[in-house]
Amino acid sequence: MMLGIINGIKPAYVKKPVMAGRIVVAVAAFVTLAGCGFHLAGSGRLPTAMQTTYLESTRPRSEFHSSLSEALRRRGLEVVDSRAEAGARLIISEDSTGQRVLSVTARNIPREYEVYYTITFALEADGESLIEPEVLIARRNYTYDETQVLGKEREETILRQALAEDLARQVVRRIEALTVAQAPG
């Protein structure tokens, strides 16, 4: 009999050292990650002045504006409709998207496109500028097939939405980085 294993079944006293080892490894990994400054996405802190935030935008109905509003609300902030109610103002001075041809076939038919999304943002709180205007650009490529026009148009729409969501996450992370840089210690 090997270590009390009968018919492939381990008794409870054989399993306990393995479980204790796993717990020790998990705790060590957690302590290491916490010590290096690692945080789960969405776990950083935003400035307290942003508890009520006004989004000032040139395109208030764009994919980016919607994505950013939703990202801020998920973080517990209130996005208000007027500057007077707001403790902070997130200014979106550019919000544009487009596409360009990357490659064509021998018959000069577009084969590959790049979809891009560009934003310029700044942050003001309590009358002072916390983040000077910064430009962020996100890009994705996709192939085009003229026999699947409707499917490719839908793919482009999905890519634009994904780019807008990605840029919204980048803006929130940039604001979190500002908060970390200003923290004492």
Sequential pLDDT tens for the chain (185 residues): 455 556 666 655 555 555 666 776 666 666 565 555 444 444 567 888 899 999 999 899 999 999 999 999 999 999 999 999 999 999 999 999 999 999 988 888 888 999 999 999 999 998 899 999 999 999 999 887 776 666 778 888 899 999 999 999 999 999 998 876 665 55
Whether residue 33 is found in the same domain as residue 80: no
d(CA 81, CA 90): 12
Flag whether 71 is in a domain: yes
Whether residue 70 is found in the same domain as residue 139: yes
- 144, 112 in Cβ contact below 8 A? yes
Flag whether 17 is in a domain: yes
Whether residue 54 is found in the same domain as residue 108: yes
Domain range for 136: 48-182
Burial of 171 (0-12, 13-18, 19+ CB in 10 A): buried
Whether residue 177 is found in the same domain as residue 94: yes
- For residue 115, give both structure tokens: 């979809």
- 88, 55 in Cβ contact below 8 A? no
Whether residue 30 is found in the same domain as residue 109: no
Whether residue 58 is found in the same domain as residue 125: yes
Flag whether 155 is in a domain: yes
Whether residue 52 is found in the same domain as residue 13: no
- 142, 162 in Cβ contact below 8 A? no
Q: What is the pTM of this model?
A: 0.71
CATH at 64: 3.30.160.150
